[in-house]
Amino acid sequence: MNAAAIAVGRFFRYGNFAIGVALSGLVVLTALVSFVWTPHSAIDIEIVDKFKPMSATHWFGTDHFGRDVLSLIMVGARNSIAVGIIAVSASVTLGTALGLFASARRGWVEEIVMRLSDLAFAFPAVLTAIMITALWGPSVINAILAIAIFNVPVFARVTRGAANAVWAREYILAARAAGKGGLRITVEHVLPNILNVLIVQATIQFALAVLAEAALSYLGLGAQPPLPSWGRMLRDAQSYLYTAPEQAIYPGIAIAIAVLGLNLLGDGLRDAFDPKLARKR
Amino acid sequence: MTLLTVDRLSVNLQGESGPVALVRDVSFTLDRRETLGIVGESGCGKTMTALALMGLLPEAARAEGRILFDGEDLVTADEARLCALRGDRIAMIFQEPMTSLNPVHTVGAQVAEVLRLHRAMGEGEALAEALRLLDLVGIPKARERLSAYPHQLSGGQRQRVMIAAALACRPDILLADEPTTALDVTVQAQILDLIGELVREFGMALVLITHDLGVVGQVTDRVIVMYAGNVVESGPTETIFAKRAHPYTQGLFAARPRQAGRTSQRGRLDTIPGVVPDPSAVIAGCRFADRCRHAVDICHRQPPPLVPIGADHDALCHRVREWA
Amino acid sequence: MSAVIAQRLFAFLATLLATSLVVFLVLEVLPGDSAQIMLGVDAEPDAVAALREKLGLNRPAAERYLTWLAGFMTGDLGDSYTYSVPVIELIVDRIAITIPLAVMAMVLTIAIALTTGVFAAAHHNRPGDWGVMLGAQIGIAMPNFWFGILLVLFFAVTLGWFSAGGFPGWEDDPLDAFKALILPAVSLALVQSAILARVTRSAVLDVLREDYIRTARAKGLSKRAALWGHGLRNAMIPVVTVMGLQFAFLLSGTIIIENVFYLPGLGRLIFQAISQRDLIVVKDVVMLMVIKVVVINFLVDLLYVAIDPRLKTAT
């Protein structure tokens, strides 16, 4: 290993994290700015302006309804972030609670929680979304629900695994000897100790949620028009591949930037929390 | 007749802040059929020395100096040449028999592999020879064990399998790195006896690396004592056992557990105050000076010379003449 | 058959049973009156009653569940309400596209992931490694359907080497049909293999640090020989775990990709069924998808036992 390799290795460790922060920040900032300002309206249809190429007024051109693509992407960021945050928060809450409960009780409680989460893994998010849509029709709520349902067992498993390791520590034994109950130990000792793991996992699941949301809205199972969403934009663009091929590029890049940013952020956080692992990689 | 000459061997690890010397100017020779013990605490460079002999240093480590094996320099030899020598003329067994065997291959296949590689034997022939070898190293029901997986064997049996694989091509040199440390006390003596016996029978030279002086006294003709990367004392085993010269060697003997066969797991020397200096530490004088009860001013200022004390007996110390 | 395999088989059957119960409850019991849903809220009560009768919805749920299960064994799943043909015929037609697509994508995924993952590990901390890792990071961030669209844009729209979508059928020209599945399979595989390549790389790196690799090298095996002879099979153990999860994603990915390339497979069928509110078809196809996921996981379990002898003999 020479000095250059070490330098590159260090860059991968810290540079990745910096890029992750920058890209995720960009997406969040875009979404926030879209509340107060967009170059044009993301809703109003100006059919005469349809399929305008890139220009000073329309940086990314216009779509088949003459809407400004940059504005659509900016507003679409809101949708991706909102769906991701709501779905992941819901599943973190429920999944972590289940995992902590399983870990505190062990025995058949743990067995049931784990078998149930095994079962849930047989239903990928798309299938869950399809079932929900078959019942209640397509909507953003369904997409959130499907993504959240898929993520609950992920967090239940991660929590249980990490929590079991904490329960095996000596200070837990000390706490028990001091007469503390399972709930109190869980809140005071277990939860704070697994927070790192949960934050890293949540970041990575957030990235997956953004991908899943895009897929669901592409299939028409997520956000419904006129609500702009990146997946939906790609679906529309596909119908006009021969007339306006560049329309199929921008929303995809937006998705990739968001997912890449979150993944790098997650990797960076994991390395920061667990330097031993970072050195090994 | 000299089989191996190690001449001012140094091993440097490329760290994030410059190279760190793990082995410093180690020199020794090994004759055919000779048995040599390398003794020292963990981290003293004894394993790195052995890995340098095999050409199997970690990627970030680099060897300097010369290792002449049968007139051929192994430091500058290319990888293909080293591959041809390893396992054939120089073989090595390791400390952890639990993890040194591949869990997904059968014991027989792992012994036979060496023969197929270096003797170009077919599978059947190699397995037949593997069976003979397993028998030789004292594995009961060797025929059944041939198709067993490592996890089905005890630690002692696994080490016997390692020995069988190492001996398969009747190497000139066997390197044994703490071969008994990970084993049960009762098994340790058996494995040691087996190694001693086979070395005599096969006419091999042995380099036995250990932190355990008892093991050295039992098996070896000559001893090298290493401390913080340096050879601090070397000589015939009998001489050193009778007249230990270097203060560190004296400390080693003092720290020896009284009960025969008992060793502390890591070979830490609680009777010598202080700790081994960090390999990256810049030390002008003797690296042992901080822990030495005989240390005087000069020990902290100048690197110690290698002082001949008797026939074939040297110590790396400023003051050794005063008592030896 | 060893006890381990019997145990896995039992778990497999239990999972199938449990998942079928979930699908049945969600798509037949939960919605209440399926006949009403299928015909819409404005439907005549007489028509709803007639459909209810026709679908056997008046029978108790437990009986309907068992009949449905039996249907999966015998292939008699009843008639589709919208197509007026046996559901099994619809499925058999569509599955002739979905299964080959999934298999092609899986084979491609394994081939790409293993070669690039091992390559990266062998070139650890060198440009080859960095290149693969960069590619993998980008691959993971790309939605597979977008990648599919890009492939269409490049290979169909710009170069004209492939058609932009659709499926000519296996009967007329198998080669043409195969060709129609190439772009979809590639778009499924490339993205999936990015994750698997990363896992393969780190698994191989972990294994290369193992003592038995040093033993193999001490025997005189070259780096490459030690990696292939001793490293790979051990490295496969964590890789196979992730592979199981990956393939479950890949199967649900076929639903999306079929929509990108207008392939009349199960994924398209399910969307048509949803838009026509044909709950029967939805239920059957969803179950079929779940069965595929569970079967893949079962096969992965068996693969485990084949790779790791410790599992076979452990009591």
Rounded to 10 degrees, what is the CA torsion of B151, B157, B161, B167? 170
Domain map of chain A by residue range?
3-30+81-280
Average pLDDT, chain A: 82
Q: Give me the sheet containing B205-210, strands edge to edge.
A: B90-93, B173-177, B205-210, B35-39, B222-227, B230-236, B313-316, B306-310
Q: On the CB side of B226, how many CA atoms lie within 13 Å of its CA?
A: 31
Q: Which of C48, C26, B58, B295 is nearest to A122 (CA)?
A: C26
Average pLDDT estimate for C289-309: 85
Q: Give the C-alpha separation, C303 to A184, whole Å.
A: 43
Q: Which residues lie closer than 8 Å to A203 by C-beta, 6 or more apart?
A: A262, A265, A266, A269
Q: Give the C-alpha separation, B109 to B114, whole Å.
A: 9
Q: Which of C193, C206, C291, C209 is nearest to C242 (CA)?
A: C193
**Closest CA–CA distance from residue B184 to any residue of chain A (Å):** 28
pTM of the model: 0.81
Q: Give me the sheet containing B72-73, strands edge to edge.
A: B18-31, B2-15, B61-69, B72-73
A1 inside 8 A of chain B by CB: yes
Based on DSSP, count helices (H) and strands (E) in chain B, helices before strands.
12, 12
What is the token pair recorded at A42?
């993301």
What is residue B54's predicted lDDT score, i.e. its pLDDT? 92
Confidence bin at C1 (pLDDT 50/70/90): low
What is residue B67's predicted lDDT score, i.e. its pLDDT? 94
User: Is residue B157's pLDDT more than 70?
Assistant: yes
Confidence bin at B262 (pLDDT 50/70/90): very low
* pLDDT digit string, tens, across residues C84-142: 788 888 888 888 889 999 999 999 999 999 999 999 988 888 888 888 988 888 888 89
Segments forming the whole domain that contains residue B306: 237-258+270-324
Pick from A124-133, A268-277, C190-199: least confident? A268-277
A2 inside 8 A of chain B by CB: yes
Strand partners, B227: B230
B17 to chain A: closest CA residue: A3
Q: Is residue B307 part of a domain?
A: yes
B contacts of A6 (beta carbons < 8 Å): 16
Q: Give the C-alpha separation, B75 to B62, whole Å.
A: 9
Domain map of chain C by residue range?
2-74, 87-313
Q: What does chain B come to in residues? A: 324
Average pLDDT estimate for B114-140: 91
C125 and A5: CB-CB below 8 Å? yes
Q: ipTM, 2 decimals?
A: 0.85
Q: Are B245 and B313 in contact (CB under 8 A)?
A: yes
* pLDDT digit string, tens, across residues A223-254: 888 888 888 888 888 887 777 777 888 888 98
Peptide bond into A226 cis (omega under 30): yes
A5 to chain B: closest CA residue: B16
Interfacial residues of B (vs C; Cβ cutoff 8 Å): 54, 56, 79-80, 83-88, 91-92, 94, 96, 99-105, 113-114, 117-118, 149, 151-152, 162, 165-166
What is the token pair recorded at A257?
């930037």
Q: Is residue B310 part of a domain?
A: yes
User: Is residue B260's pLDDT more than 70?
Assistant: no
Classify domain A3-30+81-280 by CATH architecture: Orthogonal Bundle (1.10)
Phi then psi for residue B208, to 5 deg, are -105, 120
What is residue A8's predicted lDDT score, i.e. its pLDDT? 64
What is the token pair recorded at C231?
């490293």
B87 and C212: CB-CB below 8 Å? no
Strand partners, A74: none
Q: What does chain A come to in residues? A: 281
Average pLDDT estimate for C8-24: 89
Counting as contact any 3 or more CB pairs under 8 A, the partners of A are B, C
Q: Are B65 and B6 in contact (CB under 8 A)?
A: yes
Q: How many domains does chain B have?
A: 1
Pick from A65-79, B87-101, B307-321: least confident? A65-79
Strand partners, B206: B35, B174
C315 inside 8 A of chain B by CB: no
Q: Is residue B136 part of a domain?
A: no
Average pLDDT estimate for B93-104: 88
Disruptive mutation site among C209, C215, C221 for chain B (greatest number of B CBs within 10 Å): C215
Q: Which CATH superfamily is domain C87-313 in?
A: MetI-like (1.10.3720.10)
* pLDDT digit string, tens, across residues B39-97: 988 888 888 999 999 999 988 889 999 999 988 999 999 999 999 999 999 999 998 88
Q: Is residue B309 part of a domain?
A: yes
What is residue C215's predicted lDDT score, i.e. its pLDDT? 93
Average pLDDT, chain C: 85
